[in-house]
Chains A and B, each alone.
Chain A
Amino acid sequence: MEELSAVDSEAVIATRGLTKRFRGGQLAVDGLELRVPAGSVFGFLGPNGSGKTTTIRMLLGLIEPTSGTATLLGRPMPGAARSVLPQVGALIEGPALYGFLSGRDNLIRYDSADPAADPRTRRARVEAALDRVGLTAAGSKKAKAYSLGMKQRLGLASALLQPRKLLVLDEPTNGLDPQGMREIRSLVRELAADGTTVFLSSHLLDEIEQVCTHAAVMARGRLVVQGPVAELAADARGRLAVTTPDPADAARVLKELGVTDLTVTEARVTGELPQGDVDLADLNAALVRADVRVRSFGVERASLEDAFVALTGEGFDVAG
């Protein structure tokens, strides 16, 4: 297999105007411009029905885009599937297994389907993958006897059968207990530390906040925002909140000091902090000097969840 120059060109996943309209006219994905930098742990967020899975399936060549292009590791998809996909491990919409085969034989089956996989090292790679997800002891059990969490682990193991440049993980912690979730998170960090780019779709926002360096948010088939997680959270952060019996005065003073987007309720004023360096202590001092009685003062640290709800405007309601 020829060396790919994708690592140098930085974007491991790049889409241009990626669009999918299903038969029947439903627009599932609309003009997606996604860019996943190499080496990132990329969180892919969105409510149910927002087009995440359709996007993932287009990236992996399972669904043909109606228009637009997608490149994976610098090569066009689905055209270059045969050379690209052996370097991509994937978990799509949960694991799918042959119930009548053992966990080990399931992995052997999937590995046999990869023409780039060396049959001489198959056994060893399968054992290593089982070990990595903690299934060595259950490897000989029939997959139909597995719990949901074990199936999820086996699905992950199949994504780890070979050293991968990119891992696409759709809801990888689904069905896992808290301990299992923690293990998966540390596994993701471990893989990322080895230089594998991880594209992680999840609806658990704190999970994304914990492991992801970058994130993108989808809503109704469109990409709402993408960028480093720190920036996304920062955008929603920095909202000043003052609790005071004199809201009108407080609003006036704050407005003079450059605070924007002020909302005034009965005993509370909130607003966007001005750009640049503003010392919160100065703001507070100014309020007090203007005889505004301040009960509490501070910046409300919005979580990524607040950012998410603000961006999608619908929380986790299913898009219609």
Chain B
Amino acid sequence: MSRAEPAVRPPKEGPRARRPLWTLGLFRSELTTTFRRWRTLALLAVLAAVPVLIGIAVKIETSGGSPSGGGGREGGGAGPAFLTQITNNGLFLVFAALAATLPVFLPMAVGVVAGDAVAGEANAGTLRYLLVAPAGRTRLLLAKYASTLVFCLVATLVVAVSALVTGALLFPLGEVTTISGTRIGFGDGLLRAVLIAAVVAASLAGLAAIGLFVSTLTNSGIAAMAATVGLLITVQILDTIPQLDAIHPYLFPHYWLSFADLLREPVYWDEVLDNLGLQTLYAAVFGSAAWARFTTKDITA
């Protein structure tokens, strides 16, 4: 924990004046509390292990044989297209790992953290003490959502960095063949990887808001986590049923794998922007619902 703030604070402020950045103290406290939980660290460890497993599996699969050539077209999922490229370029492990973890592992981790955000505190009884501190209900909810978003980003980066390190150790690095077939330099490819990680993290913003809303409905952290993850699975099943084509564009995971479009040359932005817009919409709707619920709720736990 870094606690350098006394030096940073301008001394002219009154001893008990409310600072304009009134949420930051609580937000920092939220972050340290979230990331000091054993459960959070375990989730991140699992996420870090996934790229290592993929990397080793691909290495074993192709050892002895010649590197499989050519990049597959995107087809149904983006995953397989990336997998075949890993042996040529370790950087593709980043894309493959993100494509592999985005449908299940990443959102599950986010569902656990977001679902537990309010309900877990209510369950432990710490919520009442935060509120009489007084944290302020809106302020607490904002801090919770912000720290959940940070968790989305950190979780995505853990996958990406673990994949990059594994890829660099097991496979050669070099120029990147885009999905469009053109080649871009390694530096450019790395930049795209960073951009993709950011988009993947942003893809989880909607789910984070849903989790937070569910979390305000119950006093049981476990129930909120289970409900959020259950909802995620249900929505993903709905997204695969062709008869429900009409509602697919409104389901939050629908555009998740569109991040692959960032590997085209030129970049194909349409679905990426659709995804970001949809996430913003979900964040707004479920964020408002969580706010409406949490600010009027009787805290009896």
Contact = CB atoms under 8 A, between A and B. Distances in A.
Interface string B1-29: 00101100100000111110010011011
A114 B26 CA distance: 8
Nearest to B123: A96
B6 A90 contact: no
Contact of B5 (A115, A116, A120): A120
B136 A82 contact: yes
Given A64-B296, A96-B124, A109-B29, A115 B132 contact: no
Given A113-B26, A119-B25, A64 B298 contact: yes
Interface residues of B, number: 36
A299 interface: no
Given A63-B300, A119-B6, A120-B6, A90 B36 contact: no
A112 B26 contact: yes
B16 to A, nearest CB: 5
B129 interface: yes
A100 B300 contact: no
Nearest to B136: A82
A185 interface: no
A82 B22 CA distance: 12
B29 A112 contact: yes
B116 to A, nearest CB: 13
Contacts of A121: 15
A100 B37 contact: yes
A114 B23 CA distance: 10
A123 B26 CA distance: 16
Nearest to A120: B6
Given A62-B128, A92-B128, A96-B129, 10 more contacts: A22-B298, A57-B299, A62-B298, A85-B132, A92-B132, A93-B125, A113-B26, A115-B25, A119-B5, A120-B6
A112 B28 contact: yes
A26 to B, nearest CB: 12
B146 interface: no
B113 to A, nearest CB: 15
Q: Which 3 A-B pairs have the closest CB atoms?
A: A96-B125, A112-B29, A113-B133
B298 A115 contact: no
Nearest to B122: A96
Interface string B110-143: 0000000000000011101111111110011000
A101 B29 contact: no
Interface in B79-107: none
A97 B126 CA distance: 6
Interface of B: 3, 5-6, 9, 15-19, 22, 25-26, 28-29, 33, 36-38, 124-126, 128-136, 139-140, 296, 298-300
A120 B134 CA distance: 18
Interface residues of A, number: 39
Nearest to B9: A120
Contacts of B3: 123
A110 B136 CA distance: 12
Nearest to B139: A115
A100 B38 contact: yes
A193 to B, nearest CB: 24
Interface in A77-110: 81-82, 85-86, 88, 90, 92-94, 96-101, 108-110
11 contacts: A57-B300, A62-B299, A85-B132, A92-B128, A98-B124, A110-B130, A112-B26, A112-B28, A115-B25, A118-B16, A119-B25
A238 B261 CA distance: 89
A60 interface: yes
A70 to B, nearest CB: 14
A123 B1 CA distance: 13
A158 interface: yes
Nearest to B37: A100
A137 interface: no
Given A1-B16, A57-B300, A113-B140, A62 B132 contact: yes
Interface string A44-66: 00000000000001001111100
A119 B28 CA distance: 12
